[in-house]
Amino acid sequence: MKKKIPLSVLEKFQPFVDDNLDLIKQVTDSGAMFYLVDRDTKSDFYFKITKQESRAGKLVYLLDYKPKNKDKVDANSLWLTLESIPAHLEKWFGLLKAYNSIHTVYDDPITKSNQERFEKQFEILDEDADTATFDLQQQLYLDNYLDNVKTKLIKLKEGRPENESKVLDEIAEEATEIQVKLTKETKSQIIKRLSRLWARAQKLGLEVIKEIFVNVAVEIAKKLLG
């Protein structure tokens, strides 16, 4: 796939990707030379270069991105030279960082603080934490662990009110999504996903977090951090 993309594009933009893996995901799309999306699964923000044309003796590229700026969440597109695009990419990264850092009524401060504590507890200090996946044995362990989590979540639904059962279903869906991403995302990204899952479970109740985390926390740490 990469050999279908001009080398100049890869050289210009791949370093931005490597430095911001906590914010974005790189997408493989035959209709785009370069395609990034917001790592937040509930977001529709993106940044992509879709076409290349020669105009007046210069190569220009069609840039398409969302949001347009801090005042408008609409999409925007324009033709630019390759040298002009990094400034727009830096502004786009700045918007993602600003959205991630601002606290609003739409955020759940309890879940967020829980997640931050789990992320700190399971911080991966390996040099390749932001560039490499867990190894095969770790992936297999996590896949089995998440299967057990989903089984326990089903049992925990018994006798609970509908609103709590719905949250348990959502947590189970997150577990499935993590399983899909185990071979595709870095160690740090997977830890972030696991931390969110544990954070939501903790907010729901001690019985839930004890079942899916506390009872196996030492083993998880040994498998992932040891």
* pLDDT in 10s for each residue of the chain, 226 residues: 678 788 998 899 888 888 887 788 888 877 899 999 998 877 999 999 999 999 989 999 999 999 999 999 999 999 999 999 999 999 999 999 998 887 665 568 889 899 999 999 999 988 899 889 999 999 999 999 999 999 999 999 999 999 999 999 999 999 998 999 999 889 998 999 999 999 999 999 999 999 999 999 999 999 999 7
Q: Alpha-carbon distance 131 to 187, whole Å?
A: 8
Q: Count up the domains in the chain and report the number.
A: 2
d(CA 209, CA 197): 10
* In a shared domain, residues 75 and 135: no
Q: Are residues 56 and 117 in the same domain?
A: no
61 plus 14 within the same structural domain:
yes
Residues 155 and 214 in one domain: yes
Dig out the tokens for 190 from the structure.
């997977």
Boundaries of domain holding 155 = 109-225
Whether residue 76 sits in one domain with residue 133: no
Same domain, 65 and 15: yes
Q: Is residue 175 within 8 Å of 146, Cβ to Cβ?
A: yes
Same domain, 118 and 86: no
- DSSP codes of every residue in the chain: -GGGS-HHHHHHHHHHHHH-TTTEEE---TT-SEEEEESSTT---EEEEEEEEEETTEEEEEEEEE--SSS--S-EEEEE-GGGHHHHHHHHHHHHHHHHH---TTS-HHHHHHHHHHHHHT---STTTTT-PPPHHHHHHHHHHHHHHHHHHHHHTTT--HHHHHHHHHHHHHHHHHHHHTTTS-HHHHHHHHHHHHHHHHHH-HHHHHHHTGGGHHHHHHHHH-
Q: Report the pLDDT value the prediction gives residue 205, as an integer from 0 to 100.
A: 94
The reply to whether the predicted model has a pTM over 0.85 is: no
CA distance 85 to 13: 9
Look at phi and psi of residue 205 and say left if phi exceeds 0, alpha if psi is from -120 to 50, else beta. left
Provide the phi-psi class of 159: left if phi over 0, else alpha when psi is between -120 and 50, else beta.
left
* Nearest CA-CA partner of 181 in 1, 3, 15, 21: 21
User: Is residue 130 domain-shared with residue 62, that is, in the same domain?
Assistant: no
**Residue 124 and residue 212 in one domain:** yes
Angle at which helices 187-204 and 162-181 pack, to 10 degrees?
Answer: 170
Amino acid at the residue 66:
K
List the Cα angle 65/71/74 in 5-degree steps: 35
